[in-house]
Amino acid sequence: MGEQQGKVQVLVSTYNGEKYLAEQLDSLLEQSHSHFFITIRDDGSSDNTSKIIHKYVANYPNKIEAFYEKNIGVIASFFELISDYIHDDTEYICFCDQDDVWMPDKLERGIRSLSENSRDIPMMYLTPTLMVDDALQPINCWPPVPQRGPSFFNALVENIAVGATIMINRRAFDMMKCNIPHPQNIIMHDWWAYLVVSAFGKVIYDGKPSIYYRQHQNNVVGGQSGIKDMLARKWKNYLKHCETTVYWNQAKEFERCWGEQLPFELKIELQQFLLPSRGILGRIKYALTSHLYRQSTLDNLVIRLMMIKGDILR
């Protein structure tokens, strides 16, 4: 893959990431696809992160730029990158964490897949991760392959798009920039991207991992070591969702941003999900007839029980 191929802009939000940041940046610079540019927004780090970034910018001025801003949190930081720092000639965009390692062909594979489709529709390419420990020793592949596939009906209640594996095309970016959500109303920037692209475009899933995803004490999103850990995480998430109704809040924000432009079938499903003040019989009926789904059988059952109890509805 040479310079004649599409330019990729890699968006990195850093915060106190001194331990692993250099290794991550090295893996970006070693990509087999050479036409890329790295844009870093430091979210007010207080450790040596800024010094590391300064060094890389000085050594690779044609590949890396950095902006040192106040702390606003990871979600708002990525949306600020989307709003303010995308280059006019960028064709593809990736999100990047500060503590992983990318496989050398990550960009090449994403471009190859997206370039086979029309540029006129928003598209997203995503993969699972290879979970590793601090020393990059493999643990497992996470998350599992989405057996029921990606769709808007899935995106309303589950995110299968791990942000650091995502590549989106220019059309998807333009849509995301057109209606920036209020960060406090959404769960994560990658989940929001999945919602937008699944509603208006095409999501392409590649079952081969593209990054080494570190599992350490400050990063415990996935990669449980066994069924006990998995069930404990699901119970913790269940309690959190009961308390904060995060699915409903995010769906309401999506309706605010995109409700009028949604295709009819998707608009109806979104409105049904957001319908307020349902009694127990209404919730039972909705749980049994809703098109919304999660990928695993267990999660699908749990989400319907949450609907019936009123834990994720209002």
Burial degree of 285 (CB within 10 A; 0-12, 13-18, 19+): middle
Q: Hey, what's the torsion of the CAs at 13, 15, 16, 19, to 10 degrees? A: -20
Per-residue pLDDT of the chain in tens (314 residues, 90 and over written 9): 344 579 999 999 999 999 999 999 999 999 999 999 999 999 999 999 999 999 999 999 999 999 999 999 999 999 999 999 999 999 999 999 999 999 999 999 999 999 999 889 999 999 999 999 999 999 999 999 999 999 999 999 999 999 999 999 999 999 999 999 999 999 999 999 999 999 999 999 999 999 999 986 565 445 555 666 766 776 676 666 665 689 999 999 999 999 999 999 999 999 999 999 899 999 999 999 999 999 999 999 999 999 999 888 87
8 Å CB contact between 124 and 194 = yes
Instruction: Count CA within 13 A, CB hemisphere, residue 128.
Output: 15
137 Rama sector, left if φ>0, alpha if ψ -120 to 50, beta otherwise: beta
214 Rama sector, left if φ>0, alpha if ψ -120 to 50, beta otherwise: beta
d(CA 125, CA 132): 22
Look at strands 167-169 and 36-43 and give their pairing.
unpaired
Peptide bond into 150 cis (omega under 30): no
Structure tokens at 49: 């992160």
| CA end-to-end distance (rounded Å), the chain | 50
Pick the closest to residue 220 from 138, 74, 99 (CA basis): 99
- Backbone phi and psi for residue 18, each to the nearest 5 degrees, phi listed first: -60, -30
d(CA 98, CA 21): 5
143 Rama sector, left if φ>0, alpha if ψ -120 to 50, beta otherwise: beta
